Structure 1
Amino acid sequence: MMHTKTAPTPEHSSTGRGVGDAIRNWWGGLARPAQWAVGVPAVIVLAVLPLFKLPLLDTPGTDFGAVMAQVAMYALAAIGLNVVVGQAGLLDLGYIGFYAVGAYSVGLLTSPDSPWNQTNGGFLDSKWAWLACVPIAIGMTAVAGLILGTPTLRLRGDYLAIVTLGFGEIVRLMAQNLPEITNGNLGLHKVEYPHLGESDKHPVGYFSGNIGDPHSANPLDRAGSGTWWYWLGLVMVVIVLMLVGNLERSRVGRSWVAIREDEDAAEIMGVPTFKFKLWAFMIGAAIGGLSGALYAGQVQYVNPSGFNIINSMLFLCAVVLGGKGNKLGVIVGAFLVVYLPNRFMSVNVGGQSLGDYKYLFFGLALVVVMIFRPQGLFPARQKLLAYGRQVYRAVRRPVVAEQATGAGR
């Protein structure tokens, strides 16, 4: 009697263990043009959400567009931190330091409170100063990542976590204790922003002081300044996702995964682990600087209290909740971290807003997730990063043919 071997259930089968697995399996089975055909309309739908106050999504206590702009900023920071923590496996507890460097890079060059202001007779014009400062902020944070990573990435685990935690606090304390440069605890006011759409109706443009007209049929007039910042952040998120996705499928991404799984084995196999860890640190820092520049432009005010360790833990919470190593998962985590406290801000229990208990709820959520789903809500699956779909089909086809032959007998 002839026994036919049964092939193991493939990763992209429909036997996922949950909704997140089923969505990922469905998405992974689509060809690249089909993914674009689904992704572009999805992004458009996300973009128009703040224009309509949907009862189930609206945040009664605050402007929904401003909340979604904050979601975009946190999503950028979470994607950058995911490169460091999720891809390369480096525990970074002081990521807020890079966020602060990006924000202060914009503030120091554009605020009238700064001795380095370049918008008052300097090389920057106020109309495009913020846009010109964005690449400067990205470069400054990349350099900060290089300076921090070069001496410290020889460390691993808890030791690296403590060093990065110290870096985040050092940046905050320097901003607090250098009043002649950063204006200390008073902060930097009137930070520049994009002067787009200036007119008699919008004297300072779309990105500042614009409450929007909810009765207008023109979406540009209907959107408030928070929505405009959300649109800008959404474009940046899409661009960063494409860049990071290409990196993951390249030699760099495969090296990160090898380092994350077993750094010693990767070193033995010839992977220059220190170089690729430094790449991860610099790329993650640069993305954090971009998020910080977005924050400085939207708030138009930068001070040290906005860059404390609590915010750094919220970035890490977004990555852990969403799923380390999964880019779309950490975006969902960032959405939950920002949206839920604002959604429940208008809900009062015993005279106290539920939004004030956000740290308690996030702590409980982390405990529950660590018990029942330790890899996060949308955990990353191990798969071939380069030519994965082609290899899977080539290997699967002979097995299916063999099963069909055996069944015919």
Structure 2
Amino acid sequence: MTPKLRPNWRQNLSLALGATIITALLVGPIFGLRLERMGARTVIDPQWDKVAWACLAVFLVQFARPWITGHTTRRIPWPTLPAIPDRHRSLVLTVVLLVAVSWPFMAGRNAVDIATLALIYVMLGLGLNIVVGFAGLLDLGFVGFYATGAYTFALLYHWAGWSFWQALPLTGAMSALFGFILGFPVLRLRGDYLAIVTLGFGEIIRLLLVNLTGFTGGPDGISGLPKPSVFGLEMARSASAEGATTFHQFLGLEFNSMHMVIFLYLMALTLAVVTLWFSNRLLRMPIGRALEALREDEIACRSLGLSPMNIKLSAFTMGAMFAGFGGAFFAARQGIVNPESFTFIESALILAIVVLGGMGSQLGVILAAILITVLPEFAREFSEYRMLVFGLVMIVMMVWRPQGLLPMKRRHVEVS
């Protein structure tokens, strides 16, 4: 057994006081100096009690940490999911899928809308996971592909009158083309340099959408986008074309706006399942092994006869394709697209989903996407502090659980 270190209370006290002072400096201006409108004047409404409680909590935790853990370097054990035997895995997946399909028929409209948004982020997270988790390429401009898919559908409808289903394959193809084009400038880049180039790409796409006012509508975007139809039947109160039949008229039902909400949820679920199936199959294929080889060591990958250029281009292309599908669905669901929906914060959020869930872990990405989307809905009174709390959670995760919530399990073969 490793001997336990005896905590030094003076050292702990100095560390706790230092952490408390830093907490006061960070939390004080945000929570303590709260601005309130009183008629035409803006006054400061100090709320120092929140700052005091936060500082007290940080001081107590930091001061008592060595006594709680028993060792200054020991980490708190993290709960793990029980292993599912292979013979029961298909049964568990079937039950989870049945629960997901039946969810919109049991929950309210608000809950279904939140679940639909979560599934969009699941799709985006799984797409970015191919680039970051499988290939190890840091991409900070993933939102550019997301915007490409959304605007491809919007422009095809606005200028050519295409429906959602007609434009859907082209949205994925156009985003994949942009991913392929982005792959060439970054073939020889790694790490921070790669991140800067991809960040610039995402901002270039957004600024082009803002400035091409005659083509993209500029800051106002494009509105009036149609919702997806069901086998050519519109899910609306009345058909847009004269003599056409709507969905509820065809089935002899009374019109209910919830039908469209359920349909959009099931569409998002289908796209997310297809993305999950593709990325799962990708790992078992030679290209998936090549992506992992590139992530582990590019020099060793090249020495095995693999082409890093082709692997990087494949990763960017496949990840961008699913971002394009997600963007088209987002545009159809919202009915409007504008550049403000595709800022850098969206790229950071999608990347945070991959890092928080565990890079390369598909189940971890799904869990992180659901948590990041659903949890803020339970704390609406703290909505203005959402990014602050989000940043603190990411810092805590990087300190206590750098491998993510559910890290990817890799099979190892022992040679005796």
Is the structural similarity TM-score above 0.5?
Answer: yes
How has the CA–CA distance of structure 1 residues 36 and 158 changed in structure 2, closer, same or farther, with 3 Å as cutoff?
same
- 1:45 aligns with 99
Counterparts of 1:200 and 1:328, CA distance in 2? 33
Structure 2 residue runs without a partner (length 5+): 1-76, 241-247
Rg: which structure is higher? 2
- 1:35 aligns with 89
> Does residue 1:164 correspond to 2:211, yes or no?
no
Summarize the alignment of residues 238-317 of structure 1 with structure 2, pairs less than 5 Å apart. 238-317=273-352
How has the CA–CA distance of structure 1 residues 204 and 49 changed in structure 2, closer, same or farther, with 3 Å as cutoff?
farther
How has the CA–CA distance of structure 1 residues 44 and 203 changed in structure 2, closer, same or farther, with 3 Å as cutoff?
farther
- 1:350 aligns with none
> Does residue 1:185 correspond to 2:219, yes or no?
yes
Contact persistence 1:106–1:130 (CA under 8 A):
yes
How has the CA–CA distance of structure 1 residues 226 and 361 changed in structure 2, closer, same or farther, with 3 Å as cutoff?
farther
How has the CA–CA distance of structure 1 residues 367 and 264 changed in structure 2, closer, same or farther, with 3 Å as cutoff?
same
Contact persistence 1:141–1:288 (CA under 8 A):
yes
Contact persistence 2:235–2:259 (CA under 8 A):
no
Amino acid at match of 1:73: I
Contact persistence 1:98–1:144 (CA under 8 A):
yes
How has the CA–CA distance of structure 1 residues 183 and 37 changed in structure 2, closer, same or farther, with 3 Å as cutoff?
same
Deviation at 1:202, TM superposition (A): 3.6
Choose from 186, 199, 216 the match for 1:152: 186
Contact persistence 1:65–1:224 (CA under 8 A):
no
- Over residues 274-318 of structure 1, what are the superposed CA-to-partner deviations in whole Å (9 max), with x where a residue is unaligned? 111110110000011111011001001000011000111110111
- Over residues 331-387 of structure 1, what are the superposed CA-to-partner deviations in whole Å (9 max), with x where a residue is unaligned? 111111111112322xxxxxxx21232211211110111111101000112226xxx
Choose from 399, 404, 407 the match for 1:371: 399
Summarize the alignment of residues 207-218 of structure 1 with structure 2, pairs less than 5 Å apart. none
> Does residue 1:176 correspond to 2:218, yes or no?
no
- 1:330 aligns with 365
Counterparts of 2:273 and 2:386, CA distance in 1? 28
Deviation at 1:244, TM superposition (A): 1.3
What is the Cα-based RMSD across aligned positions, in Å? 2.5
Deviation at 1:200, TM superposition (A): 9.8
Choose from 138, 145, 148 the match for 1:101: 148
How has the CA–CA distance of structure 1 residues 204 and 292 changed in structure 2, closer, same or farther, with 3 Å as cutoff?
farther
**Range moving further from structure 2, 355-364 or 322-331:** 355-364
How has the CA–CA distance of structure 1 residues 382 and 222 changed in structure 2, closer, same or farther, with 3 Å as cutoff?
same
Deviation at 1:67, TM superposition (A): 0.9
- 1:356 aligns with 384
> Does residue 1:76 correspond to 2:76, yes or no?
no
- Over residues 41-68 of structure 1, what are the superposed CA-to-partner deviations in whole Å (9 max), with x where a residue is unaligned? 2111022223334xxxx7xxx8111111
Amino acid at match of 1:172: R
- 1:402 aligns with none
Counterparts of 2:257 and 2:209, CA distance in 1? 38
How has the CA–CA distance of structure 1 residues 67 and 200 changed in structure 2, closer, same or farther, with 3 Å as cutoff?
closer
Secondary structure at the residue paired with 1:63? helix
Amino acid at match of 2:86: L
Counterparts of 1:338 and 1:285, CA distance in 2? 22
Structure 1 residue runs without a partner (length 5+): 1-16, 112-116, 206-211, 213-217, 346-352, 385-390, 400-409
> Does residue 1:381 correspond to 2:409, yes or no?
yes
Deviation at 1:201, TM superposition (A): 7.8
Secondary structure at the residue paired with 2:86? coil
Identity %: 37
Deviation at 1:168, TM superposition (A): 0.4
Deviation at 1:321, TM superposition (A): 0.9
Secondary structure at the residue paired with 2:185? helix
Deviation at 1:196, TM superposition (A): 3.0
Choose from 233, 241, 249 the match for 2:268: 233
How has the CA–CA distance of structure 1 residues 202 and 44 changed in structure 2, closer, same or farther, with 3 Å as cutoff?
farther
Amino acid at match of 1:160: L
Contact persistence 2:235–2:260 (CA under 8 A):
no
Contact persistence 2:123–2:326 (CA under 8 A):
yes
How has the CA–CA distance of structure 1 residues 246 and 49 changed in structure 2, closer, same or farther, with 3 Å as cutoff?
same
Contact persistence 2:298–2:308 (CA under 8 A):
yes
Amino acid at match of 1:313: A
TM-score, normalised via structure 2 length: 0.74
Amino acid at match of 2:195: A
Contact persistence 2:183–2:313 (CA under 8 A):
yes
Deviation at 1:223, TM superposition (A): 4.2
- Over residues 5-49 of structure 1, what are the superposed CA-to-partner deviations in whole Å (9 max), with x where a residue is unaligned? xxxxxxxxxxxx7544x34x32xx314xx4322212211102222
Amino acid at match of 1:190: G
Amino acid at match of 2:160: Q
**Range moving further from structure 2, 186-195 or 76-85:** 186-195
Amino acid at match of 1:138: G
TM-score, normalised via structure 1 length: 0.75
